[in-house]
Amino acid sequence: MRAPRSRRHHHGRWRVLARVERFAEPALLLLLRERPSHGYDLLERLPELTGEARVEMGNLYRLLRGLEEEGLVSSEWDDSSPGPAKRRYAITPDGERLLDHWAEALRRAQQRTARFLTRYEERR
């Protein structure tokens, strides 16, 4: 039986990854709420929210396409910058509503985590 993806035992040490699944989705929506952006801009800004050292470009564009197909993000070609035209992404009203739900779910997770850590510290 394999350990869950959230933890690994490697060379006598535990490596635990306490992370929110699919966190790139709300992070992208938040970045797009701050300002419409091109993919490269999002690629540079995303690690500050996700904590990942690097986000794969292909994964980013797949996620953006999926969000666009669901009507959460819109895009248009932008040829105002030098060089070839680039897609510029923006959050839609439905994306704003989903971001609100993500924020509430993350608040609840934060409260659960705080309760866990408080209890953990009490028993030390």
Residue 120 is assigned to a structural domain of this protein: no
Rounded distance, CA 9 to CA 12, Å? 6
Q: Measured between alpha carbons, how far is 57 from 104 in angstroms, rounded to an integer?
A: 28
CA dist 43 and 57 (Å) reads 7
36 is a domain residue: yes
- Find the CATH number of the domain harbouring 57: 1.10.10.10
Q: Which of 72, 93, 74, 75 is nearest to 26 (CA)?
A: 72
Whether 83 is in a domain gets the answer yes
What is the tens place of the pLDDT at every residue in 102-122?
999 999 999 999 999 999 999
- pTM summary value: 0.81
Residue 34 domain-assigned (yes or no): yes
124 assigned to some structural domain: no
Print the domain residue range for 25. 21-113
Count up the domains in the chain and report the number: 1
pLDDT at residue 42 above 90? yes
Please check whether residue 96 lies inside any domain of the structure: yes
Q: What share of the chain is helix, strand, coil (3-state, %, to 5)?
A: 55, 20, 30
Average pLDDT over residues 66-92: 92
Q: 81 lies in a domain?
A: yes
- Quote the pLDDT of residue 16: 65
Task: Band the pLDDT of 69: cuts 50, 70, 90.
Answer: very high
Residues with Cβ within 8 Å of residue 6, at least 6 apart in sequence? 16, 17, 18, 19
In a domain, 56, yes or no: yes
